[in-house]
Each structure stands twice: as structure tokens, then as C-alpha cells.
Chains A and B, each alone.
Chain A
Amino acid sequence: MTQVQTLPTRREEAFRYTDLDALAGVWPVEREEICVVAGTEESRQVVELGEGAVARHLVIRLEKQAKLDLRILSAGPVFGRIAVDVELAEGADFTLGAAQLATGSETLEIVTEVTHLEPDATSSQTVRTVLAGHSTGTYLGRVAVARGADGTDAEQSVRAMLLERTATANARPELEIFADDVKAAHGCAVGELDAQGLFYLESRGLTPPQAKRLMLQAFIAEAFTGAPGEDALSEAALARLEAIL
């Protein structure tokens, strides 16, 4: 496999919203190859909370009936790009739960390309992004279903919450299907905290920051539900959330 050495431009779809200056500092990005062998199960966590710019590229292969549970918490204070390419063989199962939390002028992005190569594989992606200040949060997610990969079940649930109108969310779930019998669902929403919900909580005595935190905590938790190490992930996310609010 060849590795791209020249810095990409924004004309490339997968880099359209990136922070090129920050990316230049960490380029080229090393490919991290992961293979889950046939019939086995694995779980992985990627937690990026460090001070510096980060770009990672996971290249994952799931063999027949293999299962991977991948969780990502990306909340570094400068730039964070996590690209995940996944290829699924027959009957494989891929779960992604990712949360991005940003403030200031940070740029965070998650870029996935999930390819169902063979029949009866399932993939489920849940991405929750919380953005304050002038930050930018991006999810670009492509699901490709190859010819003959019947019985595919692919799901994408993408939601971003803007705490201030100065923040920017980009979300683009994408499907490319060449098989006949495919179940694919995607939901995508960018919004603000529900004002009615906030008032309800405040009317019971929660201060406005408490009410916000409680609702955002629940929002982020959706990315980590059912994960091994769910509590630790949620706690780390909460600590970062407190800093953002």
C-alpha cells in the first residue's frame, strides 16, 4: 500500500473542512493497521485529550464473523482528526461510538469509510459532537456496500449540538450501494439544546449551567452506551464538558 506523502488540499472531499495548517504539522499520518481475525471479538478505544494537534488514521479489516467495538473520544484543545477505514467480510460486525467536544477555535473531525465487501455484515456508527466558541466539528462518513454484499445492515446516527451560534458543525453521512438486499439507515441533525427541556429542569431548581450539563451529558452518553469501559469514557467526556461550559 502506498502512503500519501504530499499534504492534501481542501479540494479532496475527506479534507474539505480540515485545518490545513494544523494538519501540516502532523503530516504524513501513519496508517495504523488493525485486523480482527475470523470469528473473534475485540474492543478498542481512542481517547485524544492531549495538548497538541493529533491526526490518526486507523485502517481496519474485519474477517468473517469478526466483531469490533470502537469508541472514540476526541476533545483535544487544538486539532484532532481521526480517520477510520473499515472493511467488513461476511457476517462481520462493526460498532463505532464517537464523541467530539470542542471550544475556542479548535477543529475536530472524524472521517469514516466503511465498506461492506461481503454479505450479512452489520455496521453501526453513532457520532455526537458538542461545539462551543468558534470551534468546528466535522463528521464525514461514507458507507459503501459492494456488489453482492446482500443482507448488509448499515446504520449512521450523527448529531451535533451547537452551544453558541459562532460554532460550526459539518455532517455528511453518505451511502453508496451496489447490492440489492440492503438495510441502511442514516439520521443526521445539527441543533441547539432544547429550550423547553432546559426550562423544565430549571423550573425544578437546577441552575442554567447544571441543566445544560445534564442534557449534554445525556447527549454524549449515546456515543458510549454499551461500550466496555463506558463509565470511564463518560467521566473523561464529562470532565472536558465542564471545561467547555
Chain B
Amino acid sequence: MLKIDNLQANVADKPILKGLSLEINPGEIHAIMGPNGAGKSTLGYTLGGRPGYEVTGGSVSFGGQDLFELEPHERAAAGLFLGFQYPVEIPGVSFVQFLREAANAQRKGRGEEPLSGGEFLKLAREKAGLLKMDMDMLKRPVNVGFSGGEKKRAEMVQMGILEPKLAILDETDSGLDIDALRIVGEGINTIMRAPDKAVLLITHYQRLLDYVKPDKVHVLAGGRIVKSGGPELAHQLEEEGYEAVAA
């Protein structure tokens, strides 16, 4: 589903990703762990197409397409979802308004019929329920006045509504208390664990992986994957630290 080959990327002319390779198949959940400054968030933003993240080498194919040929909104329509570490506040624009427009823009991009207001609200209510989020919160301006944990849950509601094929979740576990972590973890499983879907979890900590069991764990350091393994690798990292394991 996603094939990253020798990816190199700069931020502000500084090389951050230095030859990263990774392949994710449908039905798989991968976790990328690594110390601060390893390039984890850069990987997420580069795949999402954020301006300022310059690809200087390598290739990424997503569902057989060259990902870098696509604009950010086209990547979304192709089934890519980027969960933000710091979801952006947008005053004056309600979640409901924005998500309905986004869902329909994606559907249009795929040549599908738009959702009616009623159909959309039903879908939104269902996904909000899954994340134990009050529907009234989705009538408020995007992320404005939300706590860190509420923002992350709202990201997962968006993921549920947009039904991507591949979700790249950048530190979705940061800022969550224990209960919220469980709710988000279960949400990811319900929404994304399917034979035709895949997830790339970017995280510092093992704790989210207790709820969302990864098929593979990778250690990212210095802009490349330095070690890959099964779920046991995450436990080893937690116990021994990045320095010992990645050395």
C-alpha cells in the first residue's frame, strides 16, 4: 500500500530524512519510534505534503501512484489521512461544516455522489460516539478551546468520517490521559483495523501500542530506520532506551 524507498527530505535546507525506506502492506499496523529530533514528524509532514518539507531524493508510492505527484488534497482523496501532533485551531469554521465539505470534496475527487446533510450528520454522530465525543463539540469551531486530549479525539473522529485507506498518526497519544488513551486506541482499532487498510503510528512511547498492537516496529534515528522488528522491539526500547537498542 505504501512503499517508501530511500526517502530524503530537507526542512529549511537542512537534511532531516536521510535515506528512509519502509513498506506497509494492506492490513498492517506499523509503529515508528525514535528519540526527539530523529525525523518522525518530518516523515509524517513530508508524506502529507506540507509546504516547507522538501523532498530531495527517493520515492514514495501509495497504492501504485507516485505520492509526490499529488497535491495534499489529492493525497487525501486517494485515501491518505494525516493525524496531526498539534491539530490546528481554525476560528469561525465549525467541524461539521468543514468535515462535510472535506468529505464531499474527497468523494468528488473519487467520482462519488456527495453526502446529503442528513447522511453526513448521521455518519458524524456515529463516529463521535465511537470516540465518546459529544456531538455538540463538533458544532464548535475547529479545535478552538479544545484541550490537548479533545483535539486528539477530534482527529480520530475526522479519521472515522473520512475513512482513509492509510492513516499516518503523528503522536496521537501525546496529551492523552489514561482513559482517553484507551478510547483513542480502541477508536483506531475499530476504524482502521481491516484487511484493506493500514496504519503508521508515530510515537515516543510504548503505551499506545498496548491498545493498538503493531505488526511491525521500526526505530527511526538520524533520519533513517536503524532497526525493525516485531512488537517485542517496542518493549525492549521501553526498557533499555533508544541509545542502547539503536546503537
**A: which residues have CB within 8 A of B?**
194-197, 199-208, 210-211, 214-215, 217-219, 221-222
Contacts and interface: CB of A to CB of B under 8 A. Distances in A.
Interface of B: 48-51, 71-73, 75-77, 82, 84, 87-93, 97-99, 101-103, 105-106, 109, 141-142, 158, 162
B88 A206 contact: no
A228 to B, nearest CB: 20
B93 A218 contact: yes
A203 to B, nearest CB: 5
A54 to B, nearest CB: 28
Contacts, number: 77
Given A195-B51, A214-B98, A215-B93, A202 B88 contact: no
A201 B99 contact: no
B103 to A, nearest CB: 7
B158 A218 contact: no
A218 B90 contact: yes
B92 A204 contact: no
20 contacts: A194-B90, A196-B88, A197-B88, A201-B102, A202-B71, A203-B49, A203-B84, A204-B102, A205-B76, A205-B102, A205-B103, A206-B73, A206-B98, A206-B102, A206-B105, A207-B105, A211-B73, A218-B90, A218-B92, A218-B141
Contacts of A211: 73
A156 B142 CA distance: 25
B216 to A, nearest CB: 25
B92 A219 contact: yes
Given A195-B51, A199-B50, A214-B101, A207 B93 contact: no
A210 B105 contact: yes
Contacts of B87: 200
A211 B89 CA distance: 14
Contact of A204 (B71, B89, B99): B99
